[in-house]
Amino acid sequence: MEGGGGVVGKGNPGPLFPSTTPRAKPKSLLEAISDIEKLSAVERTGMPIPMHFLLLNEKFAYFDVGLKAAWADTLVNVIFTPISVGVFDRVIPIFGTYNPTIVDQVFSLMIGLSYTLGINILLAFNLGSCYFGKVCRNAIWQLYGGFVVGSILKMMSIFVIFHFLYWRITPELLSHVLTSMYLVVHGVFTAQQWDRVFYWFVDMRNLLFKSGIFIVLSTVICLALPFISFLLGSRRANYEDEVRRKYDAV
């Protein structure tokens, strides 16, 4: 005979979950992380959750939340990644200078990476200690899996866009366009000024190629942070569980 979340007459009643009230699916990343933290709190107290507790629609909900979270900063990456790379290459000035300090370069780097790095740190910091128990690990991998898929799709999309523009916008095309414009505004700008404009656009074109490489490397490095946290958190959680079981049995 069943009662609550366990079996009547057994020593361990198990976790108590209402069976009549439908569980709300997470709609945001913070809600998903909070739900997983609740599941982890139950499992880490020694109350195993049945594998079928995490329903199929909830798995898709976690995956969907992770997928959407990965795409949230796409426009920021497209705009600010070339700017960050341009500051390092001294093509784009920052704070009025073409010779940035280390602090200036780090600041420019954070402009393009702030959201991606922040989300990965959020996942690593909050879910690393929750990587314990089959249900919690399943929920974490659904959320993280969606985030990884979304990040890879975003990375590939931006990479293709940047490299398409790099190969499509050739120096010959820039020369043709700027020469045509110069014939119209030659009374306003000198030929030397127009040459500087041409070389600046050529430098910006080269930044697109480097930005595509940068977005790939930064995405891979950022995605590795939660994965490493899960490995470390799992080892620590298993050790704590062994210690708890050992002293509970004494």
Q: Per residue in 170-210, pLDDT tens?
A: 888 888 887 777 777 666 667 777 778 788 888 888 889 99
Which has the closest alpha carbon to 218: 154, 166, 164? 154
Which residues, 6 or more positions from 141, have their beta carbon under 8 angstroms from its beta carbon? none
pLDDT at 21: 53
Q: How far apart are CA 65 and CA 51, in angstroms?
A: 21
Q: How far is CA 178 from CA 164, 165, 192, 243, in A?
A: 20, 17, 13, 72
Asked if residue 45 lies in contact with residue 76, where contact means CB atoms within 8 angstroms, the answer is no
pLDDT of residue 162: 92
> Residue 9 has what pLDDT?
41
What pLDDT is attached to residue 3? 43
Regions of the chain short of the pLDDT cut 50:
1-11, 13-20, 250
State residue 164's pLDDT score. 93
**pTM above 0.85?**
no
